[in-house]
Amino acid sequence: MIKANNPNLKSWVEVPAHSDFPIQNLPFGIFKTRYLAPVAGVAIGNHVLDLVYLHENGYFDGLGLPVGLFNQKYLNDFLSLGKSRARDVRERISELLQQDNDELQANRAAREIALIPMEEVQMQMPVRIGNYTDFYSSEEHATNVGTMFRDPKNALLPNWKYLPVAYHGRASSIVVSGTPIHRPKGQIKLPDAELPIFCPSRKLDFELEMAFITCGETKLGSSISTKDAEDHIFGFVLFNDWSARDIQNWEYVPLGPFLGKNFGSTISPWIVTMDALEPYRAKGPEQFPHVLPYLAVDGEKNFDVMLEVLIQPDKGETTSVCRSNFKYMYWNVNQQLVHHTINGCNIQDGDLYASGTISGASPGSFGSMLELSWNGQRPLHLTNGVERKFIEDGDTIVMKGHCEKEGVRIGFGECKGKILPAL
């Protein structure tokens, strides 16, 4: 058992009830304040722990960490040290924050500098994302989309149950939670029109996803096995893969998504480590037909993360429109990473791999407006009589996620973005 995951641990830092960030979590992120340039921190309750201060003042002595490791605007160099070194740092932070440890607790001056209230910080992109891949790994989502746009009897294409389908997306347009997104423009072709037109998207959508971030670079030509895959998965964030369905529908044949996807994606700012999620492993769906040997895994590789999507119209009330779960994924993260590298593709520190839309079996668990409104045929009814077929200008989409077991709640914070009119 990882010591920092002990459900009996208590911190001397006050952690409110139902907080996403108890001592058993300790996610990593990058923050800045009025006085601090972007630096690395860890969330605990309603505070951020300044890792630069801890490192420079000897609290990490003995761990052999490079000078200036946390005094950077991204966590990539930290990730490059590998998962075992990150585990050592998380364990040491856990020790410092435990209620019976006086090292930091008894030093009032150090405590007041190192612990910063969350309302005083501005969260930043946690990593410099060099490469981004988006999978398509929810059987329910793929079946819904295939039913809508193809033959319902053959909703899944022949390859879907043999490999984790994916495409390479645009890394430069991934933004941190709270960053607004302008409605994209592009070509669309109306059903009764002979020619396409150029205009702002009329079918703007969210996609409820999670994403993992890699550590431990590999060489071009090498592959990762299912046995070693988790050594390269540092942690997870919530992910909103904004989608312009009408632009995508016109452009995606024969090469797949382009302008319908690359205008923006939003991530939550805190990376919840895979170590912190260890107690929340879950069995995934039965895979049939049997996967090819290189994709075979042993044990529980899915995670029981409860997910929710809320819509808030401009100056309106917030409505919950979706409740889903990460454990529904047909293809798990180990298989996704293994398949990604089986042809010799190398991975880099800070690469991001999104799950694809996470939908469950019931309509209330569908992870996109495309499914929730069935491509606009069944409008959603929000609070105060507001209806939505797709996302309108001024709407804010909020995604949340957490695990809960033995009285411990591990959360991800918010993945939040507001849609502004097209430029």
Phi, psi of 39 (to 5 degrees): -140, 170
CA atoms in the 13 A half-sphere facing the CB of 320 = 9
Phi, psi of 302 (to 5 degrees): -95, 170
DSSP helix, strand, coil percent of the chain (3-state; round to 5): 20, 30, 50
339 is catalytic: no
Relative to beta strand 243-244, strand 204-205 is antiparallel
Taking a C-beta distance cutoff of 8 angstroms, is the pair 27, 21 a contact?
Answer: yes
Taking a C-beta distance cutoff of 8 angstroms, is the pair 4, 101 a contact?
Answer: no
Minimal CA–CA distance to 127: which of 69, 70, 76, 178? Answer: 76
Q: What angle do CA 110, 115, 118 make, to 5 degrees?
A: 160
Q: Select which of 47, 141, 232, 402 is catalytic.
A: 141
Whole-number Cα distances in Å, 35 to 30, 32, 39: 14, 8, 11
Strands in 78-232 per DSSP E: 115-117, 122-123, 132-135, 166-168, 174-176, 181-182, 185-188, 197-200, 204-205, 208-214
Q: How far apart are CA 24 and CA 10, in angstroms?
A: 9
Q: How many CB atoms lie within 10 A of CB 106?
A: 10
Convert 387-410 to b/e letters by CB count within 10 Å (16 or more is b): ebbbbbeebbbbbbbbbeeeebbb
Phi, psi of 244 (to 5 degrees): -100, 100
CA atoms in the 13 A half-sphere facing the CB of 65 = 27
Q: Which amino acid, 195?
A: L
Instruction: Name the residues annotated as catalytic.
Output: 141
